[in-house]
Structure 1
């Protein structure tokens, strides 16, 4: 068996899986692609693709989009958090080159990545007034 092949286990195939991801997953979007993501610690990263005739009326164009996105996923799959990813192509995707589609996909993955909670509270932005200390006199509230 060819090791560069995209395995069936790396694909979201069942309609029930697509429905679950659309209903319960997070979504991030760009004008050409939308990414639906649902984490699952028990599953290796899997991808589902939705490219309708509204995106491109010709099967050749739809298949090109899917091929490019599948290949981009294959290259980053080992670095992704476990879970299901569904990419929905939008009509502008048919006018994008392969490299533009890859860049859009990687941009969506970066936006969808969970952000760790900050270890320290945020400090005040430079130029803001410092907090008043207890030894400071109370300002006069004025007439009131």
Structure 2
């Protein structure tokens, strides 16, 4: 399930603001950059480089899994609006969907976003 446009980061200025002013948390599979949101809802961008995951089908599959998890667990909580960029690392390609969800949940807890 794709995230609605209102919950996606699309503006270059927002990406720059998050990379310059935001906090960073990471593990072996993901890198989270986040900052308090400028609007009233959570916004997210999922970044997967071609160098990390060469096959487009795998990149798209990872985007769908991550988007579904975000829509189900994170985007509904608007008590603390947050702008978030999720970077996917190369090791993530070997994980199954339930392992991806567990890793994301642990990372969000580490960043105090859940």
Q: Which runs of 5+ in 2 are unaligned?
A: none
User: Following superposition of structure 1 onto structure 2, how do residues 100-119 of structure 1 map, counting pairs within 5 Å?
Assistant: 100-113=99-112
Q: Does 1:52 align with 2:43?
A: no
- Contact between 1:35 and 1:85, CA under 8 Å: does it hold in 2? yes
Residues 84-109 of structure 1, C-alpha deviation per residue, up to 9 Å, x if partnerless? 01100001011111111111111111
Structure (1/2) with the larger helix percentage: 2
The CA deviation at 1:79 is 2.6
TM-score, normalising length: structure 1: 0.71
Residues 16-40 of structure 1, C-alpha deviation per residue, up to 9 Å, x if partnerless? 2112111111111011001111112
Residues 56 and 5 of structure 1: is their aligned pair in 2 closer, same or farther, counting only changes over 3 Å?
A: closer
Q: Greater RCO between the two (CA within 8 Å, min separation 6)?
A: 2
User: Following superposition of structure 1 onto structure 2, how do residues 1-144 of structure 1 map, counting pairs within 5 Å?
Assistant: 6-40=3-37, 42-76=39-73, 77-79=75-77, 81-113=80-112
Q: Which runs of 5+ in 1 are unaligned?
A: 115-144
What secondary structure sits across from 1:47 in the alignment?
strand
User: What is the rounded CA distance, in whole Å, between the counterparts of 1:108 and 1:39 in structure 2?
Assistant: 17
Count of matched residue pairs: 111
- Contact between 2:53 and 2:90, CA under 8 Å: does it hold in 1? yes
- Contact between 2:2 and 2:67, CA under 8 Å: does it hold in 1? no
TM-score, normalising length: structure 2: 0.88
Residues 13 and 42 of structure 1: is their aligned pair in 2 closer, same or farther, counting only changes over 3 Å?
A: closer
Structure (1/2) with the larger strand percentage: 2
- Contact between 1:55 and 1:62, CA under 8 Å: does it hold in 2? no
